[in-house]
Structure 1
Amino acid sequence: MSVDLWVWIATAVAIVGMILFDFFAHVRTPHAPSFREAATWSTVYIVLAIVFGLGLGIVWGWDHGTEYFAGYVTEKSLSVDNLFVFLIIMTKFAVPREFQQKVLLVGVVIALVLRTVFILLGAAAIEQWSWVFYIFGAFLVYTGIKLAKEKHDSEEVSHADEQKDGLAVRLLKRVLPTTEEYHGDRLTTVIDGKRFITPMLVVMVAIGATDVLFALDSIPAIYGLTQEPYIVFTANAFALLGLRQLYFLIGGLLERLVYLNKGLSFILGFIGVKLVLHAMHVNELPFINGGEHIEWAPEIPTWLSLLVILGTLTVATVASLIKTRRDADAASAAVTDAQEPATKEH
């Protein structure tokens, strides 16, 4: 797949333009977006991503088009999981709802920059050393196991204020004077002639630090679906665009997706195995099969990866909603049973 430089430049300009439009049209004036606004713009960005994928498939072939859609769905799913962490951070720092859009947009920009750096590094590493796929695969399997052990529920959000500050936040507070009160959406403020940083800047640093960890997961995952840097970049970019609107659209649903992390852990493990099999197929390590390619190692086709990803997400979502519905019904029944004796006494 050969992508001309002007295509890269035009794509980057278009993405930056959409981010600037997002800022001036929605974020510049602080407000809590309505459900209709969030739904409308989430749909717009998803449609743009689909149209781009169709165009990519028409121009460069549907093998690459399938790779893009598999990568986009994977990155979008990982982004939804990231939103749960953002929700915990927002709750911990008690960010006013009308200021959350600015924090999220800054988080998207930081994530896009970091992922671009990791994409370039990953492409350079793959070009030089085929054994990198072994490392990527093992890392994804490890990450999947670790993710499966995490809890994503309302109880974790309710105890967000009890969580300790991360390393980046602790260093920031140690170096710079901070104030505990928000001063609008300003990042710094002057009190008695002395400049302080506000919680707005602190929470942005917290989200930026988590973006580093998210990039470490997402880039190896998508390189397990395609080795084309342009597809990796655009799938990540379109997955991140609209993330702010998605946060407000499914904010109440995030706490109900209790099995999402389990589904994502399976997906990461699956892609990790796919990467290891690919590494075996192109093996050059002298202590494995004498440095020869392992021809019997199967290559999992991208179309199958896409089906596994979509199927896993569907099962995880449906199972989550069923469980939370049953838990809610059980809690309601327990309250009713507790009230009945008191009613009979009267």
Structure 2
Amino acid sequence: MHVHALAWIILAAIIVTMIVVDIVGHVRTPHEPTLKEAASWSIAYIVIALVFGAIVWAVWGPQYGQEYLGGYITEKALSIDNLFVFVIILSTFRVPRKNQQEVLLAGIVIALILRLLFILAGAALIENFSWVFYIFGLWLAWTAISQVREGAGNEDDEEEYRPPSIVRAVSRIVPVTDGFVGSRILYRHGGRTYITPLLLCVLAIGTADVMFAVDSIPAIYSLTSEAYLVFAANAFSLLGLRQLYFLIDGLLDRIVFLHYGLAAILGFIGFKLINHALHTNELFFINGGREVAIVPEPGIAFSLGFIVVTILITVAASLLVSRARGGEDAPARGR
């Protein structure tokens, strides 16, 4: 896939335009978005991502179009896990509801920059060291196991969020205001400049996304090795997170099988990466550095179908169980 510099410029222009629209249309006037507003903009972000996929399909062909679509759906599914952490962070910092939009947007922009660095580093590693697929695959397999353990854990135990070390270090060095000062991130008083908890929260969201990038970047590289498609899928999935947060933050506890669904996706992708590494094996201590082709590599269409079906089953099963549990609890609430 040959990507001209103009294609990168157009992608950057689209992303910047979306961020500017967010700032001017939503964040500049702090408010809590209504369900209708969140739903409308969530759909709009998905449509933009799909239109971009159609352009990729038309310009570079169906293979790359499917690779982008598979990557976008995967990133979108994995990004739901981000929302759990965002809920914890925003509640821990006690960010006023009307200011949550700007905090999320700023944090997501930081996350987008960090992910770009991860993507470029990952592309360089894959191009020069094909054995990195072994590491990516094993990491995702371990992450899948962790998701199963988390899903099987006590649902009543809420994980306590601890700000990343960089945030804690900043709060020790730089004076911090006792509370929020409107929507300011810096506050000048008595000849001193203070940072506000709003800035710390932004840093927390941006840096917390790093741990998700460690999982999601290897995951999408199993579907496409094109850095352009990887970054586009990540950008569109991240930029839609802000409105998605307000749309489903009250429904997250109803997706009771989310961890199992994500575990299935990550486990499949981990297997796919290791299988690909075996097919392109260069490590001398594995079959003498020769190819190991025991299991055929699944095609992009099969991978895309597996991901979509897994998501649909996870959501459908979760909603059915949540509804059943709600029915069981109804008599108790009525007493």
TM category (shorter chain) comes to: over 0.9
- C-alpha distance after superposition, 1:92-119 (max 9, x if no partner): 1111111000111012111211111111
Partner of 1:110: 110
User: What residue identity is the alignment partner of 2:118?
Assistant: F
Partner of 1:343: none
- C-alpha distance after superposition, 1:69-98 (max 9, x if no partner): 110000011111111110111111111111
Partner of 1:129: 129
2:318 to 310, 317, 320: 320
Q: 1:20–1:155: structure 2 CA closer, same or farther, 3 Å change rule?
A: farther
C-alpha distance in structure 1 between counterparts of 2:182 and 2:221, whole Å: 41
C-alpha distance in structure 2 between counterparts of 1:326 and 1:180, whole Å: 44
Matched, 1:27 2:16: no
SS at match of 1:3: coil
Counterpart contact for 1:89–1:206, Cα < 8 Å:
yes
Q: 1:165–1:108: structure 2 CA closer, same or farther, 3 Å change rule?
A: closer
Alignment of 1:63-142 (within 5 A): 63-142=63-142
Deviation at 1:14, TM superposition (A): 1.8
C-alpha distance in structure 2 between counterparts of 1:193 and 1:332, whole Å: 58
Partner of 2:223: 225
C-alpha distance in structure 2 between counterparts of 1:50 and 1:154, whole Å: 35
Counterpart contact for 1:31–1:99, Cα < 8 Å:
yes
C-alpha distance in structure 2 between counterparts of 1:147 and 1:81, whole Å: 10
- C-alpha distance after superposition, 1:169-210 (max 9, x if no partner): 321221122223111111122344433221101111111221
TM-score (norm 1): 0.92
C-alpha distance in structure 2 between counterparts of 1:310 and 1:49, whole Å: 16
| Gapped regions of structure 2 (runs ≥ 5) | none
- C-alpha distance after superposition, 1:116-142 (max 9, x if no partner): 111111110011011011011001111
Counterpart contact for 1:154–1:255, Cα < 8 Å:
no
Counterpart contact for 1:278–1:297, Cα < 8 Å:
no
Counterpart contact for 1:153–1:255, Cα < 8 Å:
no
CA-based RMSD of the aligned residues comes to 1.7
Alignment of 1:256-271 (within 5 A): 256-271=254-269
Partner of 1:16: 16
How many percent of aligned residue pairs carry the same amino acid?
51
C-alpha distance in structure 1 between counterparts of 2:154 and 2:46, whole Å: 26
Alignment of 1:128-277 (within 5 A): 128-151=128-151, 155=156, 159=158, 163-277=161-275
C-alpha distance in structure 1 between counterparts of 2:127 and 2:19, whole Å: 31
Counterpart contact for 2:136–2:270, Cα < 8 Å:
yes
| Count of matched residue positions in the alignment of Structure 1 and Structure 2 | 334
C-alpha distance in structure 2 between counterparts of 1:229 and 1:150, whole Å: 31
Q: 1:164–1:47: structure 2 CA closer, same or farther, 3 Å change rule?
A: closer
Range with bigger deviation, 279-288 or 254-263: 254-263
Partner of 1:7: 7
Matched, 1:311 2:314: no
Q: Choose 1 or 2 for highest CA Rg.
A: 1
C-alpha distance in structure 1 between counterparts of 2:148 and 2:77, whole Å: 15
Counterpart contact for 1:144–1:268, Cα < 8 Å:
yes
